[in-house]
Amino acid sequence: MKQNTGYAWLIPVWALVIFVTGLFVTGACSAYSRSDYQQFQNAIIDHRNRLNKKFKKIRRTETRYIIVHTSELGLSTTLRVVSKGKQFKSGHRTPGGHAHYVIARSGHTYRIMDKQYRADHAGLSMWQGKQDVSSVSIGIELVGYHSAPLTEQQYRSAAMLIDILQSVYHLDDTAVLTHSQIAFGRPNPWFPKDHRGRKRCAKNFDRSRAGLGPTLDFDPDVRTERLLPDPYLAKLFYGKQPAVAKVAATAPVSNLISKNNSAWSIAGEDYDSRTTAYVLPNGRILAGNQIKDTIGWHLLPVNTKVLLDQKIEKDHIQISQTPVKVITDRMTAWSHAGPAYRFDSTIYFLPSGMIYSGSRIPDWDDLPQKTQLIIGYQGPFLITDAMTAYGIAGQKYKDPDTVYFLPPGHVKTGNTITDFSNLPEGTRVYLPLDDIG
């Protein structure tokens, strides 16, 4: 890819002079030298020629904020989506232009579009009474998930990029916000008015590691009663604890309805989608768009299971019964496994035939689509002449929850294998954790 070789791509000459002489540089400047900034700017990867030709460029008349996002995708998909557009389940597609910059987990920074133009990155948003925050802000996408750590390389690049942009637009640290702080949702069964909490995007962004001071100690739109608060985000950003989310370390986020875990908190904006399945404790299955008229959202029984992105066949939702999940554009490792995406008990089978546990994935940016994964498993247990599938799994060797890897790269469940006497050499067995005695 073509790289920039000068400074004009980012800031005008007058701003560069001010910047390098140190007369107007904010928080992060003391951590990095002039040479660091020059190397960072020279290494920016110019991705502007990938922008969707259908994207309509509109110049911003003012810039009040810098908005930080997490992409919830790998690098290649992030770059394609922000440049070319998003495909929604309804079939609608956007024309791209969803960020000004993308910062990979390696720290490599991509310029998606000229900063003078409006990027459609914030969606339904409000801050200090101003709606459509996209029209008055710069959008930066950090490749990664909202409940997983960002890398030191990302923080280093973010610190320098944000500092330069603050210098250009004369913004203080309180003007740097996360998408989760500014997004809001329309009324739904849990909130009778417009409210915070539509997005969790970049809630894990640690301001101090990006050289930034604290955000405001209150939500200006909640204080003025323009919006209802989201209890979780209110505590996270404006409580007494540090304003950065702690990553869950022991178990995936539950997908079961409970007193404190609503359909909204599990599925977000997809709570009433026809591809979101609700499996009631009695086994009945309903799609999200059926709940309101059949049960009612507040009458969903405890322990109802919520499943995202299920298939629709002949207008009926089809629940995937296999424990083997597949990574696609829409369903990432995080989508399938939540915080467990990086656990030892989450096993990834790459199209190349390589197998990794979640804690050993070498590069999340390059995790390819069509990678398969299983969640909550132990193994592998190698099948040999002395140790058969029955010897490893007992009577569950044919169960749909017992997973086999057959070289060179086939992942099957026990109920789909017809001949256990002729399994290829090197076949491995994975058992659910609950089955390990």
Q: Which residue has the higher pLDDT, 153 or 88?
A: 153
Q: Which residue has the higher pLDDT, 424 or 274?
A: 424
Q: What's the pLDDT score for residue 89?
A: 65
Per-residue pLDDT, averaged over 53-59, amounts to 96
What is the rounded average pLDDT for all residues in the chain?
86
Q: What's the pLDDT score for residue 265?
A: 84
Domain borders along the chain are 13-238, 263-318, 325-435
Where residue 341 falls among pLDDT bands split at 50, 70, 90?
A: confident
| Sheet hosting strand 355-357, strand order edge to edge | 325-326, 372-375, 346-349, 355-357
Q: What is the DSSP letter of 393?
A: H
**Domain at 13-238, CATH from 3.90.1580.10, 3.40.80.10, 2.40.50.140, 2.30.30.50:** 3.40.80.10
**CA 351, CA 371: separation in Å to the nearest integer?**
6
Q: What's the pLDDT score for residue 63?
A: 98
Q: Which of 124-133, 238-247, 341-350 is predicted most confidently?
A: 124-133
- Is it the case that residue 3 has pLDDT exceeding 80? no
Answer yes or no: are the C-beta atoms of 69 and 123 closer than 8 Å.
no
Answer yes or no: are the C-beta atoms of 200 and 264 closer than 8 Å.
no
Q: Is 137 helix (H, G, I), strand (E, B) or coil?
A: strand
Where residue 208 falls among pLDDT bands split at 50, 70, 90?
A: very high
Q: Which of 192, 187, 189, 184 is nearest to 222 (CA)?
A: 184
Where residue 364 falls among pLDDT bands split at 50, 70, 90?
A: confident
Q: What's the pLDDT score for residue 435?
A: 63
Q: Which residue has the higher pLDDT, 349 or 255?
A: 349
Q: Which residue has the higher pLDDT, 4 or 154?
A: 154
The answer for residues whose C-beta is within 8 angstroms of residue 10's C-beta and 6 or more apart is 41, 44, 111, 115, 164, 168
Torsions phi, psi for 195 (to 5 deg): -155, 155
- The secondary structure of 14-71 as a DSSP string is HHHHHHHTTSS--GGGGGS-HHHHHHHHHT-EE-GGGS-TTPPP-B-S---EEEEEE-
Pairing of strands 137-142, 101-103: parallel
**CA 291, CA 79: separation in Å to the nearest integer?**
36
Region of residue 14 (phi > 0: left; psi between -120 and 50: alpha; otherwise: beta): alpha
Q: Could you tell me the CA-to-CA distances from 171 to 32, 62, 157, 164 in Å, in that order?
A: 19, 12, 18, 10
Q: What's the pLDDT score for residue 266?
A: 83
List, for residues 414-430, the tens digit of each pLDDT value: 999 999 999 999 999 99
- Is it the case that residue 228 has pLDDT exceeding 70? yes
Q: Which of 95-109, 295-309, 364-378 is predicted most confidently?
A: 95-109
List, for residues 160-193, the tens digit of each pLDDT value: 999 999 999 999 999 999 999 999 999 999 999 9
**CA 277, CA 136: separation in Å to the nearest integer?**
38
Q: What's the pLDDT score for residue 13?
A: 39
Where residue 436 falls among pLDDT bands split at 50, 70, 90?
A: low
Cβ count within 10 A of residue 273: 18
Per-residue pLDDT, averaged over 241-266, amounts to 65
pTM of the model: 0.80
